[in-house]
Amino acid sequence: MNRIRSIVYTTVIALVAIVLTIVFLPTLFLGEKTARNTIKIWARFAMWAMPVLTGVRYRVEGRENIPEGGALIVSNHQSLWETFALHILFSHPSVILKKELLRIPVYGWWAKRSGNIVIDRQGGARELRRLRNEAAARIADGAQIVVFPEGTRVAPGETAPYQPGVAGIYLAAGAPCVPVAHDSGRFWRKLGGALTPGVITVRILDPIPPGLERREFQQLIEARINAARPDLDGNPNRAAPAPSPELSDVG
């Protein structure tokens, strides 16, 4: 039954994405803000439809830590869910994307036009410097740069070392860093995969102020997110039990 509901959900959100792409195609020429708002419309629909069609809900802890202006947002990465959930939790998100994603027809147009930052992972040190400078400039303009520092999806209950590039952005931007921890992978791993009914917990942690040294920040951001991840329950070697459905602040 979960498998059928999951197929229905992914089909519906895909069809809505196609419709929005066609209807709002002219907005690609109206600037970054308009393109980003179009993506937000789709993301809000996807988040609304998920509990209706699959029984997967979410709750947010720490909404008071959501920044109003420019900041670095660092989140663990477990599934497709957070890639659109963070678009509606934060007002001016700009996600760092690998270059290969721009090759996807239509999606690539929107990904580029909506203000995301693209990185060529084969570009070496020069590409990393460009990434740091572009991210810092966008944060100065009020964007909230979203980084998934593990570099790939990591299964619930497991950890992976954070890529050092996140510390470079932090140092270059001189702005607060907001850590985000969640357990989305316990309920949805990948597009086309089954969704398991339950409640995803998202924890938006206290901001880390600017000014830390590279090594100190790198160790702190990884330790704080891992300690707050619901699927680790504060212990990187132990997965937590499934959350109770009787929770407040559920989306």
Closest by CA to 250, choosing from 200, 186, 191, is 200
What is d(CA 134, CA 150) in angstroms, rounded to the nearest whole number? 20
Contacts of 58 (CB under 8 A, 6+ apart): 47, 85, 199, 200, 201, 202, 250, 251
Close Cβ partners of 155 (under 8 Å, ≥ 6 residues apart) = 78, 185, 189
Q: What is the pLDDT of residue 103?
A: 67
What backbone phi and psi angles, to 5 degrees, belong to 125?
Answer: -65, -35
Question: What is the arithmetic mean of pLDDT over 2-13?
Answer: 88
C-beta separation of 116 from 95 below 8 A: yes
At 223-240, the pLDDT tens digits run 999 999 999 975 544 433
DSSP string, 159-202: --PPPTHHHHHHHHHTS-EEEEEE-GGGT--STTSPPPPEEEEE
12-21, 80-89, 148-157, 175-184: range with lowest mean pLDDT: 12-21
pLDDT tens across 108-118, in order? 667 777 778 88
* Cα 180 from Cα 73, distance rounded (Å): 7
Beta strands in the chain (DSSP E): 56-61, 71-75, 93-98, 117-119, 144-147, 177-182, 198-204
DSSP structure class, residue 102: G
What are the chain's domains? 2-228 (3.40.1130)
Which DSSP string do the residues of 6-22 spell out, in sequence order? Answer: HHHHHHHHHHHHHHHHH
pLDDT in tens, 94-110: 888 777 766 666 666 67
- Give residue 48's Cα distance to chain centre: 17
pLDDT at 57: 95
Lowest mean pLDDT among 23-32, 86-95, 138-147: 23-32
